[in-house]
Amino acid sequence: MINENIINKLILYGCKILRNEFLSKYCSFKIGGPADFLIEIPNEQALFIFLKNIETNYVLLGNGTNILFSDKGYDGVVLRLTGDFNKIFVSKNKISSGSSVLLSNILQIAIKNNLVGFECIAGVPGTVGGAVYGNAGSKDEWISTVINDIEVYKNLKKEIIKKEDVKFAYRKSNLENCVITKVNFLLKKKVKNDSLREISKNIQNRLKTQPLDVYSAGSIFKNPSGISVGKLIEKIGLKGKRIGGAQISQLHGNFIVNTGGALSRDILSLIDLIKNEVKKRFNINLEMEIKIIE
């Protein structure tokens, strides 16, 4: 629980405080019970007040496209960065982006300014903060390639971390205990048409291979080096398998979809089933790509 004095202080700093807010509204799986608090923070001053005073658990939420919340909800605060964190500035070949900016927006701005480097995130439905935290991208190209530095709050201090000082790997960074507030990207000026062709190819490929008309959280598992988890799941014959309202996509084996009314436990049961079968058949331990918040 949060002390009412802190709540009042946060309201004075422009925060929006929602109590018992259903998390299903804020994630692409459309699953999740109520959080004790969902707090929207509009600027760095308010963020600092929050971090300084908060004594309960909290979790950061971007666009909720790589996350599974529990049906029981969240015992603590779910934090969303809004307002100033949605701002973007462009100067020559640099883009400075608040962490809540949607990837689709930053991609559009880059195209308008003849800047290339974001092609690998075309069609990824997250925010800049979520994408940098999880090093989003395509199979071989990641958003980290075009980062110059990252502004974060860590242990109540603001830090600017150079890209070289962050450990990025496939769908992974070591930014675990950081609140990412801003990301400064360094891009290349190039002929717009080359970039547009690549973006169009990526989107066409996504439309063919991913179930985009149903609720999901993207790929459930990380692909082990050189191996497609989707193909393994297909080989085992689990595509289309249903538990409750959840189903392993017929189109892409590494996607689990909410066909309507799925509970988090339905998704978790399918995850366990896949993990066990893949271990049994191929002796591979699958690693989660989505974040499970319980």
Ligand X SMILES: Cc1cc2nc3c(=O)[nH]c(=O)nc-3n(C[C@H](O)[C@H](O)[C@H](O)COP(=O)(O)OP(=O)(O)OC[C@H]3O[C@@H](n4cnc5c(N)ncnc54)[C@H](O)[C@@H]3O)c2cc1C
**Active site positions, annotated:** 171, 219, 289
Span between the terminal Cα atoms of the chain, in Å:
17
Partners of 25 in beta bridges: none
| Binding region for ligand X (CB under 6 A) out of 13-21, 59-67, 263-271, 272-280 | 59-67
Strand, helix or coil for residue 192: helix
Applying the rule CB under 6 A, the residues between 11 and 30 that interact with ligand X are 28
**Does 39 help bind ligand X (rule: CB under 6 A)?**
no
**What's the CA gap between 151 and 210, in Å, rounded?**
33
Residue among 144, 195, 216, 258 that touches ligand X (CB under 6 A): 216
Considering beta carbons, is residue 116 or 131 the nearer one to ligand X?
131
Q: Within 13 A of 137's CA, how many CA atoms are on the CB side?
A: 22
Does 62 sit near ligand X (CB under 6 A)? Answer: yes
Does residue 251 interact with ligand X by CB under 6 A? no
**Class of residue 269 by CB neighbours under 10 A (exposed 0-12, middle 13-18, buried 19+):** middle
Spatial distance between the Cα atoms of 80 and 59, rounded to a whole number of angstroms: 9
Q: Are 174 and 145 in contact (CB under 8 A)?
A: no
Question: Torsion angle of alpha carbons 98, 104, 107, 111, nearest 10°?
Answer: -130
Binds ligand X (CB under 6 A): choice among 32, 34, 129, 253? 129
Of the pair 253, 277, the CB lying nearest ligand X is at 253
**Near ligand X by CB under 6 A: residue from 59, 109, 186, 273:** 59
Q: Which two tokens stand for residue 165?
A: 């000082």
In this complex, which beta carbon is closest to ligand X, that of residue 133 or of residue 185?
133
Stretch that binds ligand X, among 6-14, 173-181, 184-192, 233-241 (CB under 6 A): 173-181
Q: Residue 250 Cβ, how far from ligand X at the closest point, in Å?
A: 15
The string of DSSP codes covering 139-172 is SS-BGGGGEEEEEEEETTEEEEEEGGGS--BTTB
Residue from 24, 70, 97, 99 in contact with ligand X (CB under 6 A): 99
Q: Is 70 in the site for ligand X (CB under 6 A)?
A: no
* Residue among 126 and 253 whose Cβ is closer to ligand X: 126
Residue ranges that bind ligand X, judged by CB under 6 A: 28, 59-67, 81, 99, 124-127, 129-131, 133-134, 136-137, 178-180, 210, 212, 216-218, 291
